[in-house]
Structure 1
Amino acid sequence: MDNIRATIEILFKKQNPEKMLYKYYNSIKEKNVDRDLFIATYSYENPTKYNKDEIENVYSLLDSNWKKLEGVKEDSIFNVLANFTKGILIENKGVPLCKYKELLRWRELSYLLGEDLLTTAYFAYKDFTISYNRTIFAWKPIISTDNTMLKEIMKKGCAENHFHLKGSAPHFQLAWISLMNNIEGRDKEFKKIEKETRLSPDVNYGFENFSLELKALVKKASAIRLFLYKKFILKEKIEKVENFKMNYILKSKNNSEIKLFIRDLQNEINKLKYSNGKKLNGEIPDYIIPKKISLNNYNKDNMKYNGNILLYGERFFLYTIFKTFFEGDKEIIKYKRLIHTYILIKERFRDELIQINRRVGFGNFSDYQNRKNIFLGKGIYEKAVVSMAINSSLYDQHINYLEARIAPEKNNAELSKTIEKLDENIESEMFYDVKDFKNLNFENTSIKKEVKDKKKYFYVIHFIKKQEKYKEIMEMAKNTPIVLYVKPLNYQLRRLLKKQADAIINLRKSSGEAKNRIYGIDAANFEIGCRPEVFAQCFRYLRNYKITNKFEEFGKDEIFNLGITYHAGEDFLSLIDGLRAIDETIRFLGYEQGDRIGHALALGVDANKYYKDKNYTLIMPKQIYLDNIAWMLAKIRELNIEIDENLKSKLCSDYYRLVSEIYEKEYSYENYYRAWKLRGDDPNIYKDKDYKLKSSLTFWEKCSIDPRKEMIEIRKNEEIVEIYRKYHFNKNVKERGIKSEEIKINKKMGKIVTEIQYAIQKELANKNICIEANPSSNYVIGNFKRYDGHPITKFYNIGLNVSEEENQKSSQLSVSINTDDQGIFGTYLENEYALITLAMEKLLDENGERVNKPMMVYEWVDKIRALGLEQSFLRRNEK
């Protein structure tokens, strides 16, 4: 990150809002930025970049340059925002765009702070310089670039093949508006996140005696917003009593003190709602959205979607405050610390909902993902989630097919109801004022018909992986007299999957419209602790169940087959662990031509760099390490990979030590690997030693075993079956297996792992199995921190300037570019294409020369766009 971006992060994220209020009320006359605190914070955030003297020079640059703004009399930290954005952003038809060449700089800072703080400061200064008052604030949550070449490529049509519906709306923006307008009675919601405050480990500068709980801070922000709105937008004279209440709230030292006047604060907000706020769909979402707004905020070409209207108020508020400040209003200068405090609190709250910390792994991301809907409440904010997710994506991005992933239900009636409600919200929930709608001369019914006719979006049911709770299993097993009769691994999830799979089958057998809205299945969430084997029976059941079309006299004899995809190789305890998960996906889920894998990062991560970054040390449960070694030794043998004798000896030694320790018997790694192949079978059929499949089976039971021919001979081997039985039912094996082990990695391991990566890539290519790439998601969660480090170029590089060796090794897999959870990762499909394209354009070789010519990159990304269309489950069923 360059110096001005690092400085902005310190100014608006790394300062204490309580300390800022203390300075405001005690009239401490010092600069907005404490010099010593700035230097200490900068040094902490950039420990290897500059020494203390150099950081003092950065502070001097801030003071003498960035805080000054042409035409603005008051030197201020708000000027720094305008100084940064005036070289990054441009305006087109009333909405902001990012200059394409500056996108990577913009992305890095805007993801940390959110875009609205930056875009409103940009427009405020721009309009100040030309004495203009802006009336359009309903642009999309994430802005696009000015890259016309890329837009022309996208116009050919593209597909969004990895899109989690509930994670694709602007949750933070909606949650903040909800809280600012409904601040009373929200303590229960805050209680849900108080136990695990995400921010505290990352920010600890200048917080000595200033550490107020988050719910109290947000209430203070609500009071500041109300005060600033009335004073500088409505230009009201604040009464003494009202001013006293606001000051009491802001001076309060705890939540209990604030509660004394929170009812009065809410009553004042409610009054403004009904006197000033605009009614949208029967509700007033934000008192700052004025009753009369420019109809240019509505999209006349796409009136079915204008959910961005909900973002109007907060943007208008920030813009007006900044513009008033730039104009040199003497009154607002008195309140610059209040403005700063409001922004700091808002950023503090944002850090609790958006993963902007630098920790990696899905577990860290999951903490944030689980919070996204907590503060939305009921009503218009909740309704806006699915509408804004789907409609904002379909508008102006030329998406032909959008695959919205939703969680399953326990029965077909609930699943049908869920789909019908989603469709209704997406197609019918238009956020408009009835009068405005009539003025635009549109017919509501005709717009609904247009949406239904197009139906570019459809649903994929993604089962939720749940981590195995070993401690609970062990607790249950303590009182079990017969060692073998504990429950199998992931037994609770396996039971749930049966209900959820039946719900999908029964819905597909029904006569309702909802059955024609589901085109695929997936499994998402935690990879570690929940492996593909858990879903094997369920996926075989749903893939192979033939449904006769009883409700149509003409047409196909059976309704369309479900597409198959699965999250694998995204999060792992070691590269071998991630590669094994991908292999298990292919094997246990019975992958065929056209099936897809989500992420698959383990296939393309640079193995040598991965182990070096881990300091050649890994930590994992002994059972997982044992599985990884046996699998790896078998792959080395199958693929005839040359291996250093010392490395092979170490792997074999670790294997026999662990298998003897955990299973109390020295099984060969060949037989252990064959027992691993049984993991695609339902473990319950192996519970008894004399197991036999019943002669009369339901279709679910028929799907309990892996149908491949090689499995017949494997099941006949008693020792192999014994290993599998112990893996699932022996409580001593489980107790020993969950204990962790530290593993020292041989530096020659990288070469072996790379060979295995290429072998699995080749297998995927031969079977035409596709990869769903999600650049920003992988950037945030994964181990690489540059977009040009994304493995998509290892999966598919036709047209790029790569070495002959790289070209020969690449299997040229079918890949697509997608967003994953676009609301959480602050992106859109067009932005994902732009980020990858720009990264490849800027990629340098060891001599500092550009590796790829622009047209090479555009041709490459255009081919990926076409591959994405071919991957779509809906498109395949249209053919």
Structure 2
Amino acid sequence: MFRNKMDLRIKMAILPFTDFQFYRRDYIAEIGQSQSTPEYKKYMKKTFIKDLLPALHQTERIEQLDEIELLAEKFYSYRSVTEWTEQGAQPEQFYMQRLKELSRLFLTHRNGKVALKYWESTDEKQNANSMFSAYRGIYKVALWNSLNRMMCTDLMVMIYLLSNGLEDEHVLGAYHALVYLPDTQLERVLDKGVAETHLHLSASGQFSLNWQQIMAPARSAQRKADENHTYIDRLTGRDPDLQLYTLAAASIRLLLGAYLQSIQGHRITENRMLPDYLQNLAAAKENGRGGMKPFIRLVEFFYAGANLKEQGYDEKSLQELFEDLRHELTGGGARSDQPHRLWSERMAAMDSLYPIFGAHAHTSLENLLLFRSLRYMLQQPADRLFTKLFWQYIRIKNQQFTRAVQRNHIRGLPYFLDYFDKATDRKISENNLEYYGFMLHHQLQNPHLKKLEIRIAPPKKGSVQEMKTEAAGKLLSFFKAYQQILEEKNEAQQGGFAPLAGIIYHFIKMPDEKHQEKCWFDYSEQDRNKEKLSFKTNQVHYERQMIAVRELREHIPGLADYIVGIDAANLETAAEPWVFAPIFRQARNSDTHKLVYPDYPLRKINNLGLTYHAGEDFRHMLTGLRHIHEVIDHFQFRAGDRIGHGMVLGVEVRKWALRNRVVILPRVEYLENLLWVWGMCRSGHKLTDVDVAALEHKIVLLAEGIYPSMNGITVHLLWKAYQSKFAWIGESMNKVGDSTREAWFCEQLSPGTRWTEDMLSHTYHCKCFMNRMQEPIEVEITAYEEVLIHEVQQIVLRKVSSDGIIIETNPTSNAAIGEIEHIFEHYIHNLNRRGLPGNQQLGDSVMVSINTDDPVVFNTNIDNEFAYIFYSLHEKGYAREDILGWIDHVREMGLTSSFIESKQIPIPNLIRELTAIISRLEEYLYGS
């Protein structure tokens, strides 16, 4: 509820910058035309709220319409709007004022960085009705966590700098994509060094890089067939024609940039404003390559908020218009033909503004555009054409931002995956050196980072040899990019040490799309008809990937120091742990691995570290807990291995039960949950409040919904069949003799035939039984079930703690995806209380680390993720000294739990080591 109320207030306050309705219609101007309070109230109710309510419904939980009306009056009051129009100002001045209010509330600068003002300022104390008066002081951190994912806050930073008299462009060096959240004391702790151990490389950039690529659109013929998902919100269907407005915005961006460059160093006068520049440009280009008339027509439509589709525009025409304009303004393409040595220059050269602005040493060209635009509008508010075009551009940009950065309003991984797809939809191929270079360059700019583990997908198709070749090609690009970045760093800082990078290959949890066609009856060891067994095709593919990764890292000397672990990620419901159990056991078994490189007997080969996404997104808490327990038990996890997210371990059962009074899930999922609990009772775990007889009765009732004949079926037999799933799929298929085959056809057993463990195991590969297994059932979370879940949770927590398993937490990701009300409710402090006041038990002494997961999807970085947890503990009332000590402990735990070996290598030595690996990879790929 806290999150819903807070997010609604933020959204209402920033509507003019973020909602597409404001592109079509200038509501602030219309409010300013109200002649009286009654007329204003009528307009707000009949027009403003009526128009914007559908958009609010798409992302916010609205409980009372009255609340919307009051918030609209608070943020867009008659007095606050009309005081501008009465002075003859344009409505854009209201937008500027709102931006200034937001920057005063949230921003400050400290130690050369633009930082969050997390304390309650004097202005807030004196003004009881400030913008977010109910969320003062430390609660502004929670506000920022949401606001930072609702709009691109770069604009707030620029207006903050300008409002504080910082008008020279070199000050932009104080801002690198994100507002800095740690305070001075926390920063001193982070100065000791941090490790990033849960980061997916493809989502490790920032929105600014994505936007830069969107603003340099390729021809339609060059675009991927499914690229439109960059523009369309699949779940809400908002603005399916946004790609048209985005293409138009790319042209407007060029115009604004060219105009701002033309006035650099000149005194701004009325005859140097944008309309005159455009008119002069049109006259000069009249006899050129088609002239400027088509573009001027687009400017007029964009200014007026016209429907571009109704005006006859389509992707092709807007693409051609962009390219014509770029040619007219720059004389060629967006990129320079000159090679760029520095990665910052390479990134700038990809921007369509590069031929106009050139490289800028302090910041991105987009930030330079924003800074110059706001500075110009403050100096020359009379240029209505410029200001209106600029705000229209900002609205389109923020619409794209909300499609790439995930909000809080829908939980779960399926929703996240839509954002992930859009945020990682780039023109640069994963085989390209620039792909790795841009991602690594962005991450390695953090001076606190000592270890960087990146997750990348293993090779996808073909034989083991083909997979090895594909992997070697990508690794070659990775190492070349890493080497070049280190060379750049070495030159800049004259030696020293650099962050160590390591790769974790993560298998993709994929569903068995043909599960409705399975029939074990048609499978035999001789023909190996894999498609007849559930997930067998997937498992064979994963095994090939595992073998390819293992053989490659053990074939090329030194590679084992950089390929450090394996993982499995994606939808938790797509493939359960049993599919991967044999793969991870194979990775762990020492009899399949070399100890040293044959030609380098003194160079050891470290074992692969194991980590696995589990307990992140679950229908039922028992399912999430079961998955974690299954991974530890059946994957041969040892001390130092890790679980990704593990949210279910820290979720408070009572709160989850109140939000999920009735749960819907497949019958077999609930059956296996109860079988797992029964197995724990059988193995000696003391579940004091569990009635085993009642548990067995529920298991039998569930089994009756799957098996028409229960002849010979016992709970123990069902449990053994469930346990057998963790062996290699198909391993026991030939154990069923011909006589049993004749006695069993589909769902019918011949008279007198009794079920056996192997027969029950086979039903997981029979479409007749699988249809019944997958049938959704509803389960009520009763008080008894709450007690059961809590007891089981404590057992799993104690096992995780005693076995030395580390939980990789990702605060913003967890708040957006999981069962967390807001960032201050993060579960990490439930897992580990070491050093915090109170009695510590084994169950709340779990080792944890703090990471980012997917920075571009959640608009964050590792320092800010530490800060969110730091402030959440502060909000709970712990002493600052205790919090700093706890953060320092968790920071150190992240470093020691990394699969990257702890060592300090001078940058020149590290470069030489990478050079040798690059040479060996090239030899492997291309021969000597």
Instruction: Map Cα deviations across residues 329-375 of structure 1 (whole Å, 9 max, x no partner).
Output: 311x3444432321221122223322225111111111221233324
What does 1:84-483 align with in structure 2 at a 5 Å threshold?
A: 84-92=102-110, 95-101=113-119, 102-127=140-165, 132=168, 136=172, 139-145=175-181, 147-170=183-206, 172-182=207-217, 184-185=219-220, 188-189=223-224, 191-194=226-229, 197-198=232-233, 201=236, 213-235=241-263, 236-238=277-279, 239-240=281-282, 242-248=292-298, 250=302, 251=306, 252-253=308-309, 257-258=313-314, 259-260=316-317, 262-273=319-330, 279=336, 281-282=339-340, 284-289=349-354, 297=362, 309=363, 312-331=364-383, 333-356=384-407, 358-377=409-428, 385-409=435-459, 411-428=467-484, 447=491, 454=498, 456-469=500-513, 472-475=514-517, 477=519
Give me the whole-angstrom Cα distance separating, in 2, the residues matched to 1:675 and 1:278: 61
- SS of the equivalent of 2:25 reads helix
Q: Post-superposition shift, 1:734?
A: 1.0
User: 2:95: which partner in 1?
Assistant: 77
Contact 1:67 1:78 in 2 (8 A): no
Q: Does 2:808 match 1:756?
A: no
Letter in 1 for 2:542: L
User: 2:702: which partner in 1?
Assistant: 658
Q: Post-superposition shift, 1:861?
A: 1.1
Give me the whole-angstrom Cα distance separating, in 2, the residues matched to 1:395 and 1:613: 41
Q: 1:364 to 1:764 in 2, by over 3 A?
A: same
User: 1:592: which partner in 2?
Assistant: 638
Contact 1:167 1:823 in 2 (8 A): yes
User: 2:567: which partner in 1?
Assistant: 522
User: 1:812: which partner in 2?
Assistant: 845
Contact 1:461 1:522 in 2 (8 A): yes
Give me the whole-angstrom Cα distance separating, in 2, the residues matched to 1:353 and 1:464: 21
Contact 1:175 1:376 in 2 (8 A): no
Give me the whole-angstrom Cα distance separating, in 2, the residues matched to 1:66 and 1:859: 52
Give me the whole-angstrom Cα distance separating, in 2, the residues matched to 1:138 and 1:743: 54
Q: Post-superposition shift, 1:428?
A: 1.8
Q: 1:108 to 1:194 in 2, by over 3 A?
A: closer
- Unmatched 5+ residue regions in structure 2? 1-5, 120-139, 264-276, 283-290, 341-345, 738-753, 906-928
Match for 2:622 among 576, 580, 584? Answer: 576
- Unmatched 5+ residue regions in structure 1? 204-210, 298-308, 431-442, 692-716, 844-850
Contact 1:154 1:398 in 2 (8 A): yes
Instruction: Map Cα deviations across residues 58-93 of structure 1 (whole Å, 9 max, x no partner).
Output: 145485189979x99653123211211123212357
Q: Post-superposition shift, 1:133?
A: 5.3
Q: Post-superposition shift, 1:770?
A: 1.3
User: 1:783: which partner in 2?
Assistant: 819
Q: Post-superposition shift, 1:100?
A: 4.3
Q: Does 2:80 match 1:64?
A: yes
Q: 1:269 to 1:512 in 2, by over 3 A?
A: farther
User: 1:532: which partner in 2?
Assistant: 577
Q: Does 2:617 match 1:561?
A: no
TM (normalized to structure 2)? 0.78
Give me the whole-angstrom Cα distance separating, in 2, the residues matched to 1:450 and 1:406: 31
Instruction: Map Cα deviations across residues 158-181 of structure 1 (whole Å, 9 max, x no partner).
Output: 2211111111112x3223212322
Give me the whole-angstrom Cα distance separating, in 1, the residues matched to 2:868 and 2:629: 30
Give me the whole-angstrom Cα distance separating, in 1, the residues matched to 2:243 and 2:326: 18
Give me the whole-angstrom Cα distance separating, in 2, the residues matched to 1:502 and 1:253: 52
Equivalent residues, number: 798
TM (normalized to structure 1)? 0.82
Give me the whole-angstrom Cα distance separating, in 2, the residues matched to 1:67 and 1:135: 33
Contact 1:659 1:665 in 2 (8 A): no
Q: 1:687 to 1:21 in 2, by over 3 A?
A: farther
Q: Post-superposition shift, 1:479?
A: 11
Letter in 1 for 2:698: D
Query: Higher mean Cα deviation, 579-588 or 672-681?
Result: 672-681
Letter in 2 for 1:818: N
- SS of the equivalent of 1:371 reads helix
Letter in 2 for 1:35: M
Match for 2:896 among 839, 860, 870? Answer: 870
Q: 1:611 to 1:519 in 2, by over 3 A?
A: same
Letter in 1 for 2:204: S
Instruction: Map Cα deviations across residues 37-64 of structure 1 (whole Å, 9 max, x no partner).
Output: 5445478546347546633541454851
- SS of the equivalent of 2:643 reads strand
Query: Higher mean Cα deviation, 629-638 or 473-482?
Result: 473-482
User: 1:859: which partner in 2?
Assistant: 885
Q: Post-superposition shift, 1:682?
A: 0.7
Instruction: Map Cα deviations across residues 99-149 of structure 1 (whole Å, 9 max, x no partner).
Output: 34443332221221123232223223334xx66555635842223235111
Give me the whole-angstrom Cα distance separating, in 1, the residues matched to 2:27 and 2:190: 51
Q: 1:68 to 1:799 in 2, by over 3 A?
A: farther
Letter in 2 for 1:105: L
Give me the whole-angstrom Cα distance separating, in 2, the residues matched to 1:344 and 1:601: 35
Letter in 2 for 1:547: K
Q: Does 2:17 match 1:12?
A: yes
Give me the whole-angstrom Cα distance separating, in 1, the residues matched to 2:317 and 2:28: 24
Letter in 2 for 1:736: R
Letter in 1 for 2:71: I
- SS of the equivalent of 2:874 reads helix
Q: 1:791 to 1:379 in 2, by over 3 A?
A: closer
Contact 2:675 2:718 in 1 (8 A): yes
User: 1:841: which partner in 2?
Assistant: 874
Match for 2:552 among 483, 499, 507? Answer: 507
User: 1:601: which partner in 2?
Assistant: 647
Give me the whole-angstrom Cα distance separating, in 2, the residues matched to 1:791 and 1:562: 28
Q: Post-superposition shift, 1:522?
A: 1.1
Contact 1:66 1:83 in 2 (8 A): no
Contact 1:401 1:875 in 2 (8 A): no
Contact 2:216 2:334 in 1 (8 A): no
User: 1:623: which partner in 2?
Assistant: 668
Give me the whole-angstrom Cα distance separating, in 2, the residues matched to 1:397 and 1:62: 48
Give me the whole-angstrom Cα distance separating, in 1, the residues matched to 2:31 and 2:654: 56
Q: 1:583 to 1:499 in 2, by over 3 A?
A: same
What does 1:13-28 align with in structure 2 at a 5 Å threshold?
A: 13-16=18-21, 19-20=24-25
Contact 1:777 1:820 in 2 (8 A): yes
- SS of the equivalent of 1:286 reads coil
Letter in 2 for 1:326: L
Give me the whole-angstrom Cα distance separating, in 2, the residues matched to 1:455 and 1:90: 29
Contact 2:642 2:807 in 1 (8 A): yes
Give me the whole-angstrom Cα distance separating, in 1, the residues matched to 2:593 and 2:334: 54
Q: Post-superposition shift, 1:588?
A: 1.4
